[in-house]
Structure 1
Amino acid sequence: MILRQVLTAMTFLAAGTATMAQSQTQNLDEIAKGYVGTETCATCHEDESLAWEESHHALAWTEATEENVLGNFDGAEFVHDGVSTRFDREGQTFVIHVTEEGGSKKRFEVHSVAGIAPLQQYLIETEPGKLQSFDVVWDVEREEWYHLYPDQHLPPDDGLHWTGPYKNWNARCAECHATGFRKNYDSVSQSYASDQVEIGVGCEACHGPGRDHVEWAENGAKEDGQGSYFSMNFAEAGAEGEIQHCAGCHSRREAQLDGNPLPGTPYHDAYALSLLRPGMYHPDGQIRDEVYVYGSFLQSKMYEKGVQCSNCHDPHSVQLKAEGNAVCTQCHSPAGNPEFTSLTQKDYDTADHHFHPEESEGAQCKSCHMIERDYMGIDGRRDHSFRIPRPDLAAASGSPDACTDCHDDRSPEWAAEEIAAWYPDSVHRGAHYGTVFAKGFADPVSARSELVSLATSEGEASIVRATALWLLEAAADEDLAETLAPLLSHPDPLIRSAAIRPQSGANPQESVLRLVELLGDPVRLVRTETAKSLLSAPVARFPEAIASNFQRAMGEWRESLSNRSDFPETHLVLGGAALGMRNLPAATEAFRTVVQLDPQREDAWSMLVRIKAAEGDMAGALSVVTEARSKLPESEFLLQMEQELKELQ
């Protein structure tokens, strides 16, 4: 309901939005009719099907059958943080019995299975259509149960409990584990009617609906120059198109659409990529949280030179194309590779290069150039920025390095001295954006000049420049806005979109003049970011052409919020928008929805208290903060608010 209230309050959104939503639904329904299923594809493409059927894509989501369930459901028990779990079978049904710390007992049937290795997770339908991912998972190699979050206390009312919004499969996971998936969340009833063409990542998840292709094949499949009738044509997409397609799932991002975009949809029309932010990445861009490859790869020289996913990975088996260092020496060798002529042709797979014993772990290219971090407890993921180790940056950036990952009894200073001795004439020990971001994460205002240099440097990767622009919003003023204005027309949409917010420092009229053209940008991400920035523009009425673009962009933003109305984060945004329009009742309901979904959101509780205080209802503000402290008893911030309110009474 709050979604409707807030967006209805934005009267400029009303025109054309219903028609757009109805049209999109009709288009999605028509597209869904075009899927034929993987079994149909396999009748002609046998080799590709055989390679795919044991892949992690094929087994990303499977039914809970004897063949697919690997965990011990023969009465195995697991106890963690006062919660006891027993795994049983009842005929053909796999059952999980949970006894909470307070003694309450619940029985859940396993609905389906996520993944195959190195762990397997089990999904439970807690309400009709609503799937949740259970936190006690099966270690396939060790053949034992373990908890994904062993160091966290997660009671049932915590948003991070397995029954909470952050563990909801429909919203957080399914679109990358299914083919032709639509979430179909109803924000009024707070229920899901999700559907998909098939569970698992099938042929059409990458190629698009196959009906037209099948008809073309059945009619003789003539080489008539018309292609193969898929929405995603990999031959024409090139390296960038392929990378963006894979990135749809292999990236940390915010989805704008409901479920899977049609394969072939440009990345920035479907997603907002997470930049190199603290908590997700180290200051030098190395992976920290689970960020899924794309943000790392965009930093790499390999991306810059046109390397694409299928140069290293077989697209059907999803396995590397060669074993060990051989996948790297496809290019990095004395013979080189004619597709990448800028490479130095030399022998890298030798102790003269890596200075480690042959065949040792240190002699593996990935050990030095692709650090590994474990997520979900045991799932090792490698950094795809393919960086040269820089232990010399450790003191200034606080980032880890590959050398002391292995040599954990040594210091970064020792590692830096060793590398300097091996490569005394190296050109790879100069300035690095990691030192700037380390300073900028702590205080973007003091790092302003260095951040501007990064943002305007054509020699830096776009994701690095976009991150610098994001940080510069905190230092925005008229001079900065003018300096960065040329980036609003940069060819890369990631930079264009990131250059919008620093314009908040400009004179309001000047900011509007710079931004209005971006309302008609060809990329959805840029259009919606522009529309959000113009919400408070001092304009009574736009000219007709601009008004039309504004309504379109705001409609797209509205659609993206609607598609994420089951996220607590979305209602924080809605609450902020309502406050900006001085609609305190709508803001209150938005923040109430946040704490209903996740009672641990201190920021939302704080806003509820402030709204009551702003209305002059000090007793109400005290009541809210008391309620908040019952959910967050250790919050010093809420304690301070409570004390201040008591003093004011």
Structure 2
Amino acid sequence: MTASAYAAEFSGSQTCVECHQQQYSDWQGSHHDMSMGEATSDIVLANFTDQQFDYQGEVSRFFMKGKEYWVNIKGPDGKFNDYKISYTFGYEPLQQYMVEFANGAIQLIPFAWDSRTKEQGGQRWFYLYPEMDPYDEFFWTNKGQNWNYMCADCHSTNVQKNYNDADNSFDSSWSEINVACEACHGPASEHIKWTKDQTQLLAQYGFKRDLTPKVGAWEFKQGKKILQPSKIKPSAQLATCGQCHSRRSQLTDSNNKAHSHIDNFYDKYILSNIEPNLYYPDGQIYDEVFVLGSFKQSKMHMAGVVCSDCHNPHSNKLTTPIESICFQCHIPSEYSAAKHSQHQQGSEAAQCVSCHMPKTTYMEVDPRADHSFKVPRPDLSITMGTPNVCSQCHSDKSATWAADAVAKQFPHSTIRQQPSYAKAFYQAATNNPNSDELLTKIALNPLQPTIIRASAFSRMDNFPSQQSYNAIESAVNDTDPQIRLSAIAGSEGFEFVDRWRLMAALLTDKAYAVRTEAASALVPYWGNMTPSQQQRLEPALTEYLQIQKYNADRGFAWLNSGNVYLAKRQFDKAEQAYKQAIVVEPTLASSYINLADLYRQLGKEQASIAVLKQGIINQPKAAALRYSAGLAYYRQQQLSQAIDYFKQATEVEPNDPQNWMVLGLAQEKVNPVEMMKSLTKAYDVSRDPQRLYTLCQFKIKYRDPSTHACLAQLSTLVPPQVIKQLTGG
């Protein structure tokens, strides 16, 4: 990597010191200042003095060569090799270390230094990602641990990724190695000009961003327990902080001047919704989501609170002690421990954050606070299994006990009386066919936070109906780009004619993310389009392909490009894109599956099978590759080979019912008894009545002795007419 000369507009934090000494002093030693650094003695915290770490019988070693830091760990070849540590990453409560390879790729090693004190259990090496094999995405030399793609944009200033797909290399650069002044304020050259000639009438003193708080004053109003906002104005602060403190995907970097203005977050990023793999149904954090998605659920966000109302943006510390931070707006007499929480005054349990900002520990030692500021709902824990802070502290008590205690303390709570979006999201996750009604109510409720409404719209894809269609029709005209984006996802269950009617206008949406996602959603229907529709799609589709070009260091980007070319029947381009996906990320199973499917469409069955076999070697953990190989042999009526690959799929992913189902269907002509066992397993792991229906069908067909028992079990799950239809009764 080259720490290149500053880009024309970037001036460096040293130019800020003379006029902003207090802010600079606050920033020094902060998480932003220490976000990344060159591996030198003044920043490396770990002990590299011939240290050994034994993990499951494999010994790694940390040592010095002169002033250089080195590690001896297992590489992608399965052998232990020496690697030089080039950079540090963060500093508390843990510090990570990175190796730079010859092609410019910077990778995070799987070991981290616990920088807490010994009394806290720290000052030790520990293994971050156990059970990682060289074909896992997050093995340390693979794409999941690549700094250039995964980390750079948030840990350094003015990062240019500069990926070259011709030789799969990086020439990444930055203005400053850490998160410095211009990472948040933007390029300072115009501001510096203004300081030398303040007669110039420059907006925001020469900066593009207004980072001041949204609310100019907070006022007491009679009858209110919380101060109310006044003098509300637009601010880019939340979007600026959120570009890094969020779970999002990146569309472009600072090279793209058309998307450098952070006021529109969706010109550069797509924020993740409240999705099942990231959040619990009630919006509590599950995976690492980095604050913004949680905060946007909160009443404080809806009232106009921004980060600097609680945090010093330069030191990253709270503006006042934790015991009093909430009392800036919440009237202390109304929220005292005796009146509100019933916990002992002055205790940790009495602090507001203990109940309203529960922490989840990630990376073994890093507790992160939930910024949705939710009211504890142990009643939801009973019905949905969501966590609640009451039971986390009172671990000897049940959720029912906690729910009763909360109800007793707050008998007139309006929170429990209101319909909860958690119910809608939980029901949708179970594929309840009536979910469209609940989702629509949440999606169209203007009192719900925008991110919750968006998450309801995005879940409508599995429940197409006239009701959900009408809701999505209103969403495409919403003023918030997150709602419009989610309308695209929610419309997936509809036919092309309906989707085009809903989304055509979004192809010229002012938000880069919206128009390109609309293009991505519509291009699979290219063959159904009229020439005028295709022409209307092309500009946004071209931009969508530019996003894939920016992300060309990842296999998914080449897959996306290949899918576009496939839809347009440009088979040569599709083939090359899928092949490049394999080159860039050889462990990505879907690359082989898509290429194999392309060969199948072209009548090249042997080439298709060869690609799948190559994929199985490079990604042995993907049952989908074996499943696809089984289908390929099944189409050729080579049942023995098909059954063998289907069996392999069940061994790799035994809890996938589809693997057992296709195995059973393939076994019918060879061994009906084994077929019954496989179909039984398909039902056992899914508990899906449709799979039990199929099993009963075959039991009837082969006059199996347990047919009556199968029908009896099915009759408890389906209407009587289904049984009559099945039995011919």
TM-score > 0.5, shorter chain as reference: yes
Moved over 6 A (4+): none
Structure 2 segments unaligned to the other structure (5+ residues) = 117-121, 215-232, 639-729
Partner in structure 2 of residue 143 of structure 1 = 123
* Residues 1:355 and 1:568: Cα distance change in structure 2 (over 3 Å): farther
Per-residue deviation, 1:599: 4.7
Per-residue deviation, 1:614: 3.8
Alignment of structure 1 residues 48-197 onto 2, 5 Å: 48-99=23-74, 104-141=79-116, 142-150=122-130, 152=131, 154-197=132-175
- Local SS of the residue matching 2:84: strand
Per-residue deviation, 1:218: 2.3
Per-residue deviation, 1:172: 0.7
CA contact (8 A) 1:253 1:274 kept: yes
Deviations 1:103-158 (A, max 9, x none): 733221111111010000111102242211111010001110001113x2x23343
- Measured in 2, the distance between the counterparts of 1:104 and 1:521 equals 51
Partner in structure 2 of residue 402 of structure 1 = 389
Deviations 1:461-501 (A, max 9, x none): 11111111111122235663234212211111111221134
Per-residue deviation, 1:349: 3.1
Deviations 1:270-318 (A, max 9, x none): 1011111111111111111111101111111001111111000001111
Per-residue deviation, 1:625: 3.7
* Residues 1:61 and 1:239: Cα distance change in structure 2 (over 3 Å): farther
Q: Which segment drifts farther, 483-492 or 584-593?
A: 584-593
Is the aligned partner of 1:231 residue 2:247?
no
Deviations 1:602-646 (A, max 9, x none): 444443444444444444444344333334546555445545555
Match among 244, 249, 252 for residue 254 of structure 1 = 249
Q: What amino acid sits opposite 2:188 in the alignment?
A: G
Is the aligned partner of 1:565 residue 2:540?
no
- Measured in 2, the distance between the counterparts of 1:47 and 1:331 equals 26
Instruction: State which structure, 1 or 2, has the greater radius of gyration over its C-alpha atoms.
Output: 2
Q: What amino acid sits opposite 2:353 in the alignment?
A: K
Deviations 1:524-568 (A, max 9, x none): 22222222233236443439xx95x74442232222111111122
Q: What amino acid sits opposite 2:519 in the alignment?
A: A
Is the aligned partner of 1:451 residue 2:431?
no
Partner in structure 1 of residue 649 of structure 2 = none
Match among 438, 447, 468 for residue 480 of structure 1 = 468
* Residues 1:586 and 1:551: Cα distance change in structure 2 (over 3 Å): closer
Match among 24, 35, 39 for residue 14 of structure 2 = 39
Match among 499, 510, 513 for residue 522 of structure 1 = 510
Partner in structure 2 of residue 542 of structure 1 = 532
Match among 413, 429, 432 for residue 420 of structure 2 = 432
- Measured in 2, the distance between the counterparts of 1:228 and 1:379 equals 38
Per-residue deviation, 1:504: 5.0
* Residues 1:91 and 1:228: Cα distance change in structure 2 (over 3 Å): same
Q: What amino acid sits opposite 2:51 in the alignment?
A: A
Is the aligned partner of 1:373 residue 2:356?
no
CA contact (8 A) 2:605 2:632 kept: yes
- Measured in 2, the distance between the counterparts of 1:567 and 1:282 equals 28
Partner in structure 2 of residue 286 of structure 1 = 284
Per-residue deviation, 1:31: 9.4
Deviations 1:577-596 (A, max 9, x none): 33333445544444444454
Alignment of structure 1 residues 193-204 onto 2, 5 Å: 193-204=171-182
- Measured in 2, the distance between the counterparts of 1:531 and 1:102 equals 41
Match among 568, 586, 604 for residue 581 of structure 1 = 568
* Residues 1:452 and 1:645: Cα distance change in structure 2 (over 3 Å): same
Is the aligned partner of 1:243 residue 2:238?
yes
Per-residue deviation, 1:386: 0.3
Match among 318, 333, 338 for residue 331 of structure 2 = 333
- Measured in 1, the distance between the counterparts of 2:496 and 2:78 equals 59
CA contact (8 A) 1:164 1:597 kept: no
- Local SS of the residue matching 2:456: helix
* Residues 1:223 and 1:356: Cα distance change in structure 2 (over 3 Å): farther
- Local SS of the residue matching 1:499: helix
Root-mean-square deviation over aligned CA pairs: 2.7
Per-residue deviation, 1:248: 0.4
Partner in structure 1 of residue 193 of structure 2 = 215
- Local SS of the residue matching 1:325: coil
Partner in structure 1 of residue 451 of structure 2 = 463
* Residues 1:98 and 1:369: Cα distance change in structure 2 (over 3 Å): same
Greater relative CO (CA pairs within 8 A, separation 6+): 1
- Measured in 2, the distance between the counterparts of 1:236 and 1:388 equals 25
Q: Which segment drifts farther, 162-171 or 473-482?
A: 473-482
CA contact (8 A) 2:76 2:134 kept: no
- Local SS of the residue matching 1:213: helix
- Local SS of the residue matching 1:490: coil
Q: What amino acid sits opposite 2:288 in the alignment?
A: E
Per-residue deviation, 1:201: 0.7
* Residues 1:542 and 1:588: Cα distance change in structure 2 (over 3 Å): closer
Partner in structure 2 of residue 15 of structure 1 = none
TM-score (norm 1): 0.87
Match among 373, 390, 395 for residue 377 of structure 2 = 390
- Measured in 2, the distance between the counterparts of 1:284 and 1:255 equals 26
- Local SS of the residue matching 1:578: helix
Deviations 1:11-58 (A, max 9, x none): xxxxxxxxxxxxxxxxxx999202111111112211110000111001
- Local SS of the residue matching 2:323: helix
CA contact (8 A) 1:181 1:196 kept: yes
**Count of matched residue positions in the alignment of Structure 1 and Structure 2:** 604
- Local SS of the residue matching 2:425: helix
- Measured in 1, the distance between the counterparts of 2:630 and 2:203 equals 72
Per-residue deviation, 1:352: 2.3
- Local SS of the residue matching 1:127: coil
Per-residue deviation, 1:503: 4.1
* Residues 1:102 and 1:457: Cα distance change in structure 2 (over 3 Å): closer
Q: What amino acid sits opposite 2:506 in the alignment?
A: L
TM-score (norm 2): 0.77
- Measured in 2, the distance between the counterparts of 1:368 and 1:610 equals 52
* Residues 1:606 and 1:550: Cα distance change in structure 2 (over 3 Å): closer
Per-residue deviation, 1:505: 5.3
* Residues 1:223 and 1:645: Cα distance change in structure 2 (over 3 Å): closer
- Measured in 2, the distance between the counterparts of 1:297 and 1:352 equals 26
- Local SS of the residue matching 1:559: helix
Q: Which segment drifts farther, 89-98 or 589-598?
A: 589-598
- Local SS of the residue matching 1:42: coil
Is the aligned partner of 1:322 residue 2:320?
yes
- Local SS of the residue matching 1:134: strand
